[in-house]
Amino acid sequence: MQKHIHLWHLKKSRILIWRKIYAGKSKYTGGGYVALVFFLWVSVAIEYQQKIYRTTVRLGNRHLELKIIVLRIVFLVLGFMAAFRGMDVTNDTAAYYRTYQKIAYSGFAGETRMELGYVALNVVLSHIFSDSLVGFHVLLFLTAVFSYLALEQWIERHATTYGICIVAFYFLSNQSFMSAIRQSVAVGFILWALMVWEDLKGWKRYILYIFLVIAATFFHKTAMIAIVFPVLASKRYTHNTTWLIIVITLAMTSTNLVSSIISFLGLGAGYVTAEIGNAVNVGVVSLLYFALLLLRLITANRKGYLSAQSENAGNTVYSDDFYTYCIALSLAVTVMSLRAAGMSRLNMYLQLVGLPYVSNIMNQIEDKRIAILTKVVFSVVIWSYSVIALIYRPEWQHIWPYHFYWQ
């Protein structure tokens, strides 16, 4: 009885917050309620994940754990909302539509700033669909399916539990992932490439990995960072590695090398100035990752704090050391972005590739009470930041009020 009363009060308080956000915007309440129900559902799922997520459900001739079903449904909803969003949802949707119209009218000559792969996709769709609005929404659908499916598969294969990953992605990264269409496709290619590297052996893994990384760069140049991932997967992370990363970061920040990288990748000042919200999100994620990195480094050699490896460490080439590299490099890139804000774009790869480790390291905490407390604090912090940003800085991402394109 007390549990039901607690959930009722929790739901009531959240509804009051969202009423403030949606005040005066009744025409968008359809999409808003979808998002609200989704948020409440995920929150409750997190609270009960240890009890129900390992339950096996029979679907036809297959048996799936409930946690996998929940994960797939969540990403299905997220992908659906990204694919069928209204033109004024996210900062970049309308700009991407204008680009689509230019390319539909002038072909490859209509857009010279964007990468060839993305322009080619626009050209193909504009030839198939005479109505530019229909063609553009097909573009959103295809890119959303590709990128969200890749991320879902990455989390499913490499995270020990999914609740914390869902919360972390939804509140901290989904806005940028939905808005930055070209880069989200590039991230999708990189995640598929990493899974190919894991599944194949011999020369096939090298050829297909390189092919997918090159394909990713045809949608966003920053995908070149993926060249280092196979190297990191084969290296052990030590305390000396931390010091080496610190020295290199300080050296790059104190010289013009960071600016040279920004110019090479085409991430000029004007490109980033409008992305203050994205930079703040990256900073918040980096702070949380920094806390997890400290947890790993401080307790690595102490018994009774963390178990040696994640549950699935023996089933993958990507060990905890690999994820620690991603987190540490993400922090380094964040520091560099203080000098050149465009560097924050590289963090989308590092932080999403490292996302499974958010749940893995928490599940490695041997004291279950501390593990639960860590998850609760982590979830409350990112939920609080997200709500505050929505209420006081809605212009950062223009995700809310959400509505579908037909509303």
43 part of a folded domain: yes
Residue 13 confidence (pLDDT): 44
397 part of a folded domain: no
17 part of a folded domain: no
Q: What are the pLDDT digits (tens) for 224-268?
A: 989 999 988 888 877 788 788 878 777 776 666 666 666 666 655
Nearest to 21 by CA among 9, 11, 38, 35: 35
Reported confidence tier of residue 11, pLDDT bands at 50, 70, 90: very low
Total residue length of the chain: 407
22 part of a folded domain: no
Reported confidence tier of residue 23, pLDDT bands at 50, 70, 90: very low
134 part of a folded domain: yes
DSSP codes, 126-185:
HHH-SSHHHHHHHHHHHHHHHHHHHHHHHHHHH-S-SHHHHHHHHHHTHHHHHH-HHHHH
Q: What are the pLDDT digits (tens) for 313-370?
A: 445 678 888 888 888 888 888 777 776 666 777 888 988 998 888 888 887 777 777 7
Residue 345 confidence (pLDDT): 78
DSSP codes, 181-243:
HHHHHHHHHHHHHHHHHHH--THHHHHHHHHHHHHHHTT-GGGGGGGGHHHHHTS---HHHHH
Q: What are the pLDDT digits (tens) for 82-140?
A: 888 878 777 788 888 888 898 888 877 766 678 889 999 999 999 999 888 899 999 99
Q: What is the CA radius of gyration of the chain?
A: 21
Q: How many domains, in total, are found in the chain?
A: 1
379 part of a folded domain: yes
Residue 190 confidence (pLDDT): 96
Q: pTM for the full model?
A: 0.81
Query: Percentage of residues in the chain with pLDDT exceeding 90?
Result: 18
Residue 358 confidence (pLDDT): 83
Mean pLDDT value of segment 197-208: 89
Residue 389 has pLDDT above 80, yes or no: no
Determine contact, residues 337/279, Cβ cutoff 8 Å: yes
404 part of a folded domain: no
Q: 10-19, 40-49, 241-250, 378-387: which has the minimum mean pLDDT?
A: 10-19
Residue 155 confidence (pLDDT): 92
Residue 316 confidence (pLDDT): 65
Residue 367 confidence (pLDDT): 73
Cα–Cα distance for residue pair 225/190, rounded to 1 Å: 10
Q: What are the pLDDT digits (tens) for 54-91?
A: 667 666 677 777 778 878 888 888 888 888 887 877 77
107 part of a folded domain: yes
Q: Which residues span the domain enclosing 72?
A: 28-392
